[in-house]
Chain A
Amino acid sequence: MAGRKAVSKASKSKRIKTPEAGFLAELATQQSAQYRLAQGFGVLFAVALVLQAWAFANVFSDMVLQQAFSLSFLFLALFALLLRALANYGRERVCASASRHIRYGLRHKLIAHLTQLGPARLRIEEDAALSTRVYEQVDALDDYFSRYKPQVFMVTLIPSVILLSVAPVSWVAFLVFMLTAPLVIVFMIFVGYKAAQANRRQFNVLAMLSNQFMDLSQGLAELKRLGRTPAARDRLSNSAKAYQKTTMSVLLLAFLSTATLELFASISIAMIALYLGLGLLEILPWQVGTAPVTLTQAMFLLLLAPEFYLPLRQLGNDYHAKQKAEAAATDLMSILDTPLSVETTSESTTDYVPSSAQLAYLSFYELAWQDTGRQRLAPITGNILKGERVWLSGESGVGKSSLLHLLLGFEENYQGQLYIKGKAFSTLNLKDWRNKLAWLPQTPEWVNGSIRRNLLLGITEPDESCIQKALQDSQCADFIAALPNGLDTALTELGSGLSGGQMQRLSIARALLSKADVWLLDEPCSGLDTDTADAVLNTLETVSRGKTLLIVSHDTHPIHWADKHWSLNKEGLDESTGGLDEKANYAIPR
């Protein structure tokens, strides 16, 4: 037993080594009360197991020797069997509920985390892929928490209980168990370690194969146009075949570990059976003429022998559950490890507020954003006065969107200073600040629901004339009037047939209705053709007078009416007044 303990300790410390295993272990501790209850059921199960073996042994031996047996033993045996079934039932229920709580709690946490990440979530994956992680990948943890995790405990419990109950009955059987158990474990480690490696590799390659299939399938239209589908089919077929071949050689080894376990279990059972049989016949070489055990004891040992190895074998079978869980954990951790914006530290606590910042509405002083070694925004300094409209341009990847995300309050881990009306950004009440904002991204954001509901998202319902005025100003009134259901037309993610320009106009109407002071626009015109874009920009010009506005737009869509033009590059900010800037910097993106 000491050997086993050492082993379980060793494997424990090994488990903590990989971050995935640490992550899973931490999740499991949330439900430690449930798991303790499950362990209680496990103990009950083990006791019932021994009780059942003992009662059946009595029944059997009496039956064999006297053709009759005591009914109370039979009842006891059947009762123990029932107890075992009930303990198993209870254990399953408890473990399943623990797994459920862990998974649904984790999912809740993931969604909350993604929410707080805001636009930064798209750096991990696009939304559809994120939904796969949040739903499928979290569910992939089920087998681990409901089966593998509790089984680890049973693997130590049941053999220990059996050893304890066998010891007073027969020292030889005890020794057989004692000798084979470490052998089984040693083999599990030697062969199992190799097998685990092989298994892991196989798991990875299988994932790669799935990936290849996904990739080729997604680009199938492209392949069809290029006339390359037969080549791709060959590729799929060949790699699957080659994979099958190499994997089989790996699997031959991998399953050897289970087979060794099985062999040990089978041989030990057979050895014990043989020992008992010969002992009963009184012809054991070292004690001819005397029986070391009675028939009852022999039966007892025989009934317990297979149970001794069973949990170990099950653990081997559940091993893939662990692997699946660890693979999923990698994906989930990459979400949770994406740092949330933390309150800025010492840097922003400087009391010095530049005098210009006290006058300006928005003020940046050496504002930069360095994220995991990558520069997302070069240090910039500049001021935006109240009612000033600023056009921000620059190459892609230079940090235009990042600046907007900072202002939206999704990223607070910036360097340098950011002031709103002379107050440091970090001291602001984020909720109040966000209430002043209107956000118009490249693809307007809509939830499923009517146009009216989308326009009035999160604001107290204004009277009808306000709505009409906003629609007039944003030049939505005409096309909305043309819709059969008017404002009650449902918008889906696809936009229900409205054009890109019309959708942008609706966003403008929404911004107007929200009475926001500060408008942040992220390339509202990319994806629109020049005429539509010009028309939308014209509308924007008229409705946004008096608003403080920061618009990100490519040089292909210049904002002629802006009060200032900021051209952002990797060194910082170039400011020029007026909308048109002929010195615009054309360089190869990235």
Chain B
Amino acid sequence: MKKPTTLSLAKLLLANPWGFIIPVITGVASSIAGVALLGVSGWFISAAGLATALGTALVFNYLTPGAIVRGLAILRTAGRYGEQVTAHNHLLGLLRTLRLWVWDQRVAKPIADLHQQSRGDLLQRLVSDLDQIIRWPLVVFLPWLYALLGYVGVSIFAYFIDPVLLWLLGIAALCHLVVLPYVCGRFASHAVHVGQILGVHRRGRFVSLFSALITLTIRGHWQDYAARLEQLDNRQKRMEVVIQQAISLGRLLAYMVTIGLLASVFLLLGDFQTDTSEASAMSWQLKDQVSGTWLVGLVLALLAVNELVLPLVQSFVAQGQSQVGLRRLNQIQQDAPPVSASALEKLTHLSLRDWRGYHLASGMGNQAIDLELNTGDSLWLRGVSGSGKSTLLASIAGDCLATGKAYVNQDECGIYDNPNFQGQLSYLPQSPYVFQQSIAANLMLGKADASDAEMWAVLEAVALADWVRGLDNGLSTLLSSQGRDLSGGQRKRLVLARLLLRRAPLLLLDEPFDGLDKATIERICHALQHDYQPDMLILVSHIDSPLSEQARVIEL
């Protein structure tokens, strides 16, 4: 399957045309059968009544229409069932395709932007956008198609009664299928849009206020701030009212159009009759060429089409939401995947000239430095806070932008976001990520075929083995989302264990000892100086440790 580069609603429809065609066909069959069921049974009963009245009941062929009615009933059911099953199959396939699309875009993204994106709720929104968008073909497109085909079916029927009815049906179809959904969609789209912006704003304010909750509370000021949060909520509420109004009014108007259509059908096909035998009621005489039985069928079919049309307004308002989501998804779209440079030989020498790592957003970073690193070297980066130690380390890890030149094994080499270079190093950032998988799976990310013995050994090295042994499921214990059930120190050590399994030549550690006691620090240092000693080590730490005693110090 061809991978779409930018997303659009049309592309969604065509993403898997064969998967989509079955639900469309079954759905169409079911909808038309539903409309025809009412029409044919109406005609059948009126014809039967008429036959009796005329005394031709005995020659009336009731078997064929009876069979048709039953057939239509079964077709409608089977069609609906087939549609639901195949449509869901299609939907799941679409979900997979889109998720992989988002994944690919994010993988192709330069790593510095990625950090920005992974933070906060942006990702959460992306995921819910995906769920919103994949429903579009099923919630918006298909119902519209069914209604359209319902109208086409009724029009063919109407043509045989009186071709002049086509005009009426055309106008009604235009109102029902185009004008009303469009107008209501437009009317609501502003509110949908404002609502989305308000939503983001509201969430931002929520997080900002709650992060200062205690200070605000003990200063007795919380009420004022909570009131402002409430204000935003009320504005959001008003937007919701507008959207709801648009939907309800649209539906009411759709009813009106149907009523108008029915009235005009009767008007066109009859004449006012004054000289009736009954004095009380005024009556309406049908034109001669119009058969009453057929007209009954038509009116019933129109009522059935009305049911198909009613949900359209709502789905077109919902479309506004899909479009907002789609725009957001397209923002993460990434054109060029990074060109993979040629493979590197084992890293034995790294030198940086005039090297300055900096953050894209703020431009903050370290003072430019020169740095030389050979096998067997360890380096301790020190400096006051704000001197850019972490930024420098991240830039050496290829995680962060930098100026200056880097030489790997004497050859000049671009190390930013270079997967080949990153294959040679292990980098422990300040807030490392623990996956919501088992402990073993987390460790195996460092070495795919690590044995149990290897894992226990490395856990021992980072002083986590006792803790893991104490868990009911040992290595296969599932960790909660983002390692929330681990303490900060445990999380760091677990990730360190994963990195040690990789045995990459270069090890970069950013404040590995934060929140650890002396005994643990000593144990980890011992491991790093013996069994798990890397070829080269760069350490950022504000704590003295046995590891830093032997290291060359660079003051920033």
Show the binding face of A for B, using Cβ within 8 Å. 56, 60-65, 67-72, 74, 78, 81-82, 84-86, 88-89, 92-93, 96, 100, 104, 107-108, 111-112, 114-115, 118-119, 121, 127-128, 130-132, 134-136, 210-229, 231-233, 236-237, 240-241, 243-244, 247-248, 251-252, 255-256, 258-259, 262-263, 266-267, 269-270, 273-274, 276-278, 280-283, 291, 295, 298-299, 302-303, 306, 395-397, 408, 410, 431, 434-435, 437, 439, 441, 443, 445-448, 457-459, 493, 497, 499-501, 510, 514, 526-533, 554-556, 586-590
Contact = CB atoms under 8 A, between A and B. Distances in A.
Given A64-B50, A81-B259, A280-B49, A266 B419 contact: no
Contacts of A281: 48, 51-52, 57, 60, 62
A221 B217 contact: no
A214 B127 contact: yes
Interface in B202-227: 202-203, 205-222, 225-226
A588 B217 CA distance: 35
Given A115-B226, A213-B127, A532-B384, A255 B52 contact: no
B121 interface: yes
Given A65-B49, A434-B220, A532-B385, A269 B99 contact: no
A244 B50 contact: no
A19 B168 CA distance: 54
Q: Which among A100, A219, A276, A282 has the highest number of chain B CB atoms within 10 Å?
A: A219
A590 B467 contact: yes
28 contacts: A56-B299, A64-B49, A70-B282, A70-B284, A71-B284, A81-B258, A85-B251, A86-B252, A128-B207, A135-B202, A214-B127, A216-B435, A217-B118, A224-B107, A229-B107, A241-B96, A248-B92, A259-B80, A262-B76, A266-B76, A270-B69, A273-B44, A280-B57, A282-B52, A282-B57, A408-B214, A439-B214, A499-B386
Contact of A445 (B49, B203, B213, B487): B213
Contact of B85 (A61, A71, A252): A252
A270 B73 contact: yes
Nearest to B221: A458
A23 B124 CA distance: 26
B286 A63 contact: yes
Interface residues of B, number: 161
A543 B399 CA distance: 41
A270 B120 contact: no
B123 interface: yes
A457 B216 contact: yes
Given A71-B281, A493-B211, A217 B103 contact: yes
B128 interface: yes
Given A255-B81, A493-B208, A497-B364, A273 B203 contact: no
Contacts of A131: 121, 203, 206-207, 210
B548 interface: no
B515 A127 contact: no
Contact of B436 (A96, A211, A225, A231): A211
Q: Which among B46, B299, B426 has the highest number of chain A CB atoms within 10 Å?
A: B46
Interface stretch (B147-155, B156-164, B290-298): B290-298
Interface in B500-547: 502, 514-520, 542-543
Given A115-B213, A217-B103, A221-B399, A78 B263 contact: yes
Contacts of B372: none
Given A224-B114, A226-B498, 10 more contacts: A64-B47, A64-B50, A67-B292, A121-B210, A134-B206, A136-B128, A240-B92, A240-B96, A277-B65, A529-B542
A526 B106 contact: no
